[in-house]
Copies of this chain bind each other. A is one copy, B any other.
């Protein structure tokens, strides 16, 4: 493996492959654009770190003005809290004894730490554990936007909010509603209808909280696919956008307000470099990135035109990929490097230990993907 200190100053085409490269210019552009977009609607950002799993990028998002950061798992929260982040939100229920103890360890260092809750039994257990440690845990009611994955039904939101409010070692902060199932609907209009249908029901829960005197400073939700939609909901306080920072083929293929067939607002900052290792046949070459370097989900990675026009990537096992060349293409020699936009950024980033961060195409820094593998 390439030592990070040996990589600094190299052109990205000189890096050992397969590897993940992040163009810092595009990263900054995407972070700034999303921040401005939210601000123009009077909303805040609480970006989701499950996408990049990298403290350095979370830091950039914080410096750009985000009000907090989301994680999916306690083991991710541990990394960010240890790095000094405060007000971390865990967006899935934390239910087992082992994890609740680790959650309380985090809470003792980050008094603003929050977790979502979707069951009264879990609320009671969290309350007991927090009481036993002399702590007070921030809690959001997780509302189920019709997916049935986590969360309570909208009509049960108020009751569980009241239950949480009655528990002395929990501090009710508001609600979360994340409609994961609508984020990738191709048609922008259809996505609008679907997302607003759910988010308006969540907003009704927020109004009922307030009408009944329950605290509700936070109504968090939404993702990259609905960032242009959910900010129209007046009650929404902040958006849990994740993928916008890096982007992937899956998201680039959905429609947007500007283009019915492409999501053009955020260009991909993340790419994967891969090397031709075998070229014994016309019209096809074999590259060194397979399913262990590109997560096989969300469609097919696409080859950037600067590698050559009209090239197509195909999956070819755990260790290899196949690049199909158009007729008349001059082809490639072994050792040639190609650049791909990954199909699904979140699980692909989770395959690597580091990001090569470039400025004008040269490696400026190497950032550890320090939440990689933190699925617990």
Given contacts A50-B319, A149-B278, contact A353 B375 (CB under 8 A): no
The answer to whether A281 and B148 touch across the interface, beta carbons within 8 angstroms, is yes
The answer to whether B293 and A296 touch across the interface, beta carbons within 8 angstroms, is no
How far does the Cβ of A41 sit from chain B's closest Cβ, in whole Å?
Answer: 27
Taking a contact as CB atoms closer than 8 A, the residue among B2, B98, B317, B351 that contacts A98 in the complex is B2
Interfacial chain B residues near A2, Cβ < 8 Å:
98, 376
Given contacts A373-B353, A375-B293, contact A280 B319 (CB under 8 A): no
A151 to B286, CA, bound (A): 10
- Which of A118-126, A305-313, A355-363 is the contact stretch? A118-126
Taking a contact as CB atoms closer than 8 A, the residue among B18, B119, B286, B293 that contacts A149 in the complex is B286
Interfacial chain B residues near A373, Cβ < 8 Å:
351-353, 372
Give the contact-size bracket for chain A: 35 or more
Taking a contact as CB atoms closer than 8 A, the residue among B17, B118, B296 that contacts A278 in the complex is B118
The answer to whether B277 and A376 touch across the interface, beta carbons within 8 angstroms, is no
How far does the Cβ of A340 sit from chain B's closest Cβ, in whole Å?
Answer: 14
Q: Which of A180, A347, A376 has the most CB of B within 10 A?
A: A376
Interfacial chain B residues near A350, Cβ < 8 Å:
292, 351
Taking a contact as CB atoms closer than 8 A, the residue among B16, B149, B288 that contacts A322 in the complex is B149
Task: Kindly supply a per-residue 1/0 record for chain A positions 333-376, scoring 1 wherever the CB is within 8 Å of any chain B CB and 0 otherwise.
Answer: 11100000000001100111100000000000000000011111
A265 at the B interface (CB under 8 A): no
A289 at the B interface (CB under 8 A): yes
Interfacial chain B residues near A151, Cβ < 8 Å:
278, 280
A144 at the B interface (CB under 8 A): yes
The answer to whether B78 and A1 touch across the interface, beta carbons within 8 angstroms, is yes
Task: Kindly supply a per-residue 1/0 record for chain A positions 93-112, scoring 1 wherever the CB is within 8 Å of any chain B CB and 0 otherwise.
Answer: 11110110000000000000
A68 to B150, CA, bound (A): 48
The answer to whether A16 and B99 touch across the interface, beta carbons within 8 angstroms, is yes
Closest 5 CB pairs of A and B: A150-B278, A72-B319, A293-B375, A95-B334, A292-B375
A346 to B346, CA, bound (A): 19
Which A264-290 residues have a C-beta within 8 angstroms of B?
275-281, 284, 286, 288-290
The answer to whether A275 and B96 touch across the interface, beta carbons within 8 angstroms, is yes
A318 at the B interface (CB under 8 A): yes
A280 to B144, CA, bound (A): 10
30 A-B residue pairings within 8 Å (CB atoms): A1-B75, A1-B78, A2-B376, A16-B99, A16-B376, A17-B96, A18-B375, A50-B318, A73-B319, A93-B278, A93-B334, A95-B335, A96-B335, A118-B278, A118-B280, A119-B279, A121-B333, A148-B284, A148-B286, A149-B316, A149-B317, A151-B280, A288-B375, A288-B376, A291-B347, A292-B350, A293-B375, A295-B296, A296-B297, A372-B373
A247 at the B interface (CB under 8 A): no
A175 at the B interface (CB under 8 A): no
A237 at the B interface (CB under 8 A): no
A293 to B346, CA, bound (A): 12
